[in-house]
Amino acid sequence: MNDLIERTDTGELLLRDTTRRSRRVRNRLASIWMTGSLIVAVVPLALVIGYVLVKGIGQLTPDWFTKDLPAVTRKAGGGMGPAIVGTLLITLTAAVMAVPLGILGAIYLHEYGGRGRVARLIRFMADVMTGVPSIVMGLFVYTVWTIAHGLSAFGGALALACLMLPIIIRTTEEMLKLVPDELRLASYALGNRKWRTIVTVVLPASFGGITSGVMLAIARAAGETAPLVFTIGAARKLNLSIFDGPTTSLSVQIFGNAQTPFEAAQARAWGAALTLVAIVFILTILARVVSAAVARRHNA
């Protein structure tokens, strides 16, 4: 019976013989709307990726990855090294802060809090926090950190960590839900305490899903610009220190260079965009691959 519904030719046949013309026309229009929507969404994606590839690829010489930013932005030359390192450093620092906190928070929500009042409040507030605009996170970190301690990679990392935390909490909790209770019971039956059960049984069982959620959160954070503009400053030279002095990032470089009318600066913006999109896509695709691999292992 499913076959009858899903086989399009049967559908067409039935439709032609049994329905009035106006109903057939409306059905046709709806189909056009649905397929048309997909095309409408794919066009900008293709255009954006196409432009970034075509205009950015010429920038990616060895110098691009190793040299400092040029002193004069309107002239060609120099590289994007400090921004690439800055993006990786800031995102990594943010992940180091947000990932353990997020996973522990999710463990509390699912393994301890359950449907209790505290857990429900935290869950709701995590959802609210997901909706806080990234620029507000930037202003927040500016007021509590940057005013007192100055511009640094750490300020940007704090802001990104705040953005990542609720996402990691909620996706990790979803993954913990998928771990069958039988595993926990079996572990208890072997004499494991609850914390050992969580660390040695529950977390490994949900490792793939958690990893993929974490990578998606990191990918999103790596592309953020607004929280970094007031917190990391604008350095031209490589700064490997997390706490000391301003640094820069790919996203901030794109933002700055995009606003200038100079050809060389715009070219640099496209190159930075290609580099950033590559980093983000690699993380996103890795996340997909990890979760698909884990799903296969589970089904096998």
What part of residues 264-283 is at the interface with other proteins (CB under 8 A)? 266, 269-270, 273, 276-277, 280-281
Instruction: Report the distance separating Cα 24 and Cα 18, nearest Å.
Output: 10
**Sign of the four-CA dihedral 38, 42, 43, 44:** positive
CB 257 within 8 A of CB 172: no
CB 11 within 8 A of CB 27: no
Identity of the residue, 89 or 216, whose beta carbon is nearer to other proteins in the bound complex: 216
Interacting residues with other proteins between 134 and 173 (CB under 8 A): 134-137, 139-140, 142-144, 162, 165-166, 169
Among the listed residues 84, 153, 198, 235, the single contact to other proteins using CB under 8 A: 198
Q: Is 47 in the site for other proteins (CB under 8 A)?
A: yes
Q: Is 204 in the site for other proteins (CB under 8 A)?
A: no
Q: Is 22 in the site for other proteins (CB under 8 A)?
A: no
Place of tokens 């522990």: 104
Among the listed residues 58, 100, 178, 186, the single contact to other proteins using CB under 8 A: 100
Q: Is 222 in the site for other proteins (CB under 8 A)?
A: yes
Q: Is 65 in the site for other proteins (CB under 8 A)?
A: no
What are φ and ψ of residue 150, in 5° steps? 85, 175
Among the listed residues 11, 58, 77, 204, the single contact to other proteins using CB under 8 A: 11
C-alpha distances in Å from residue 133, one per residue of 84, 128, 148, 159, 184? 24, 10, 23, 11, 38
Q: Is 186 in the site for other proteins (CB under 8 A)?
A: no
Identity of the residue, 61 or 130, whose beta carbon is nearer to other proteins in the bound complex: 130
Among the listed residues 101, 203, 238, 286, the single contact to other proteins using CB under 8 A: 101
Q: Is 44 in the site for other proteins (CB under 8 A)?
A: yes
Q: Is 262 in the site for other proteins (CB under 8 A)?
A: no
Q: Which residues contact 165 (CB under 8 A, 6 or more apart)?
A: 98, 101, 102, 105, 126, 129
Provide the token pair at 283.
């993380």
Q: Is 37 in the site for other proteins (CB under 8 A)?
A: yes
Identity of the residue, 44 or 66, whose beta carbon is nearer to other proteins in the bound complex: 44
Interacting residues with other proteins between 105 and 134 (CB under 8 A): 105, 107-114, 116, 118-119, 121-122, 124-134
Identity of the residue, 90 or 109, whose beta carbon is nearer to other proteins in the bound complex: 109
Nearest alpha carbon to residue 93 among 169, 25, 21, 158: 158
Nearest alpha carbon to residue 106 among 164, 158, 176: 176
CB 142 within 8 A of CB 82: no
